[in-house]
Structure 1
Amino acid sequence: MTTAKQLLQTLKAFHLDNPEASWGELRDNLRDIAEEALGNPQGEAYGLVLSEVSENLAEIAETMPMGLAQAQAVVMAQRVLAAAQGRHSGDLRGLVELLNGDLKGSIGKDNQDRTFDSKDLVSASICKSLSTGISQETSTATTFQSLYDAFKAERGGDKSENTLKNWKSCTSTIVGHLKDADMSKHTRATFVGLRDALLAGGEHKPSSINKIMTHASSVIGWAVATGLIERDYTKKLSITKGSESARTAFTGDHLKTLRAWAMGNLGEDWKASAIALGVATGARIGEIHQLTGSDIYKDNGQWVMDINDKDGKTLKNSFSRRTVPLLGIPEDHLEKLSQTQGRLFVQSKSGFDQLTNQMIRDVLGIKTGEGLSFHSLRHSLSSDLKAAGVAVGIAQAILGHSSGSLAFDVYGGNAAASRGLMVEALRLVRQK
């Protein structure tokens, strides 16, 4: 249900709160709004809130008593909003037709010379609504992604291509963890959880995590300063130098303990499947999290795990795209995984990381900060392959790294040609 405060803001924006206003006065205000929409295109947040205002108008039309002039104004306001939404997606026809037709006046008179009272315009009303009027239950304009889009629209105009690329990368990582969480409701735990999940995941160095957290703080701080949200709990979350711990490999006993727990809980606990796949392949935790049933299959008699960027999945780099043989996992369990419709692991990225790493700590009886995490499975496989005398190029093909050798990078990209070599290598270190 739309709040009374939202409806009042919408009424004021269109002068519908004045029952004495004539149709001419209401029409003039609507023309101002249409000209503003034409003359001053806004960012992504503007489009999101146009939808909110449209819903408010629909509720006003359904529930509010009004005279003929107000009824005419509501009908015209709905047309203006529809045209403004079209303009937001690149279609100017609606606004042009209105300003040359039912709202005809000298367009702009001119926009350069005309001074608008910002509190009377929908665009200003929108910004106010974002900070105070939109109900928390339905606010789609306060996800981190939408706040970033608005931040970039205002602050990104004079930034270098490299800066914008870094912003985009940081935002992608943050949104991957926070999803559609409402930032107007965020708490300290929201961003502590983000930082800890990134640290536990092992895919980012502490310095990279600090860069990501700084970006999050910049966006949230800007959102508070502009009134889009009311709180900012992102400060002082950087990883201090003393807390940086190098990621280390598991010992042989660690691996035996983890493998035994995983094999004993397959089919009972989703974390057992995640850990078993990590032990077998050394894949990154993000790569495991994104797997679907169709990514586990049998190819020429050999079960494999296909790490790809299909269906919205993301990869660290082009060498991450690979097909890794699966050894050491019971065939009947792989069969069950392959029959899964959609994602193997439906948890959020942050939840997946936290719960899987906590299970590893519980099974091994270790504590946070000892340098051991899911990512240590990757270090372990790399170390074991090296100790077994496996050629660097083959190990890199398994782990999804560039070998540094153009010849093998091209050759390794051919799964059929390198599959046998990878099977032989993994059989040395992972098939028990």
Structure 2
Amino acid sequence: MTINHHSLTGTNLLQTALAKPYHYRRSGRYYLRLRPQGTAKGFYTLSLRTTDKATAMTISKDILKTLAAFHLDNPEATWDELRERLADIAEECLTMAHGDDSLVAYEMIYDELRLSLREASAKGPMTIDQQRAASKAEDILEAAQERLKGRPGKLIGIVEELRGVPCGTPVAPYLSLSVNASKALTFEHLSGLYMAEQKDNVQASTMRDVKSSCAAISAVLGGLDLKEHTRADMVGLKAKLLEDRKGSTVNKLLTRLSTVMDWAVHNGYLDKSFDKGLKLSKDADSSREALSQDQVQALMDHTKTLQADAWQRWALSLGVITGSRIEELRQLTKADVKQVGGVWVIDINRNDGKTAKTKHSLRVVPLTDGAYGFDLKAFLEFVEKSDTRLFTLGAGQFSGVLNGALRDVLKLKTDRTQTFHSLRHSLAGALKAAEVPVGTAEAILGHSSGSISYDLYGAGSAVEVGRMAEALKVAFQ
């Protein structure tokens, strides 16, 4: 939870009577605005860290309830009265049920409340009993954060201390609702927590890949409790994945495994992880095989039999001569086909809501007239007649039609070792065979480059685009 303070110097949220709260939504996320009674200027804005309205309203309600319970502005309150309030709060923190969204949100909320309590203790005119209550309240919030990580013991101890009796039976039924030490922490559950935290930070297409990868790993690990996992479990996972997958695919899954496991260790869900050093060597078989030059030529010969206004003709042709990813092509607009330094290019960008795999994917790629018979003039006429988008199908349909065309024309196997993505491998192979410098090849394909950096939109753009255009002409000879 992020709190923004506005014109409230010297005022503490925990010691202020609040006006009616106000909720609003910005960039998909929900926020709670709090204002002290008696003033129209000062207010606090709290980010609820969720895009789900129901979750936001639940979190908001609980925040307000907690703030009200922590009001420490009554100097007449006795320790017994304050202790009773603290016991209620501690018990609620212990027994509250959480979903994946609220687990992440409440860890941040408790952090912010602890900071506010410290401010109240440092600046507020408090009695000894109030200071004692503020100190215990901070202990409660710290223990509540531990409970969110599956370690409720400290919070149970605080409840017993404040109540003067063991927690007993009433608390026990609620413990199964949280991530607690007695519950197996499976990869399916752990990856769910990871994805809930990351979902607002990654592109939708990337999140689909994350879900797919995590599901494949979860299917193998099943009910294994990761709190007790061993190196043998991780080696067994690798062996099982290799039974029906290529080495490069397994490497990608193991990379995803390590990402989730590292996150779990850093966030206190696991004490240690045994997933390192499992990946295969760098020359592991690729999950995609390049198309041969004969296959590429056969595909281009097929495109020339299609009508000049057939979108399939140009989508397939662009795949061949630019090596662009299928989603990069699907999102192209009329404005993305332009000239840079006298060279016609396609501009792969994030304008108008388009997405890209990485920042290195943002690039321009020259269009090579005559490559495998590509007709630049006919393509530009197609572009001119198009509306805003060159291709109007959704992602699934677009991919299905193009990959289906490749299978039909080239009689490909159904094992997906050769797909539309294989055209990228074909172009990469042609660039390598033509001894094109690695930096230039990476700029064309949109790979990260540690050897050279291109300014494709600045003063030197014409020079760099010219260099790429010449490299492609050589590769296509």
**TM-score, normalised with respect to structure 1:** 0.50
**TM-score, normalised with respect to structure 2:** 0.45
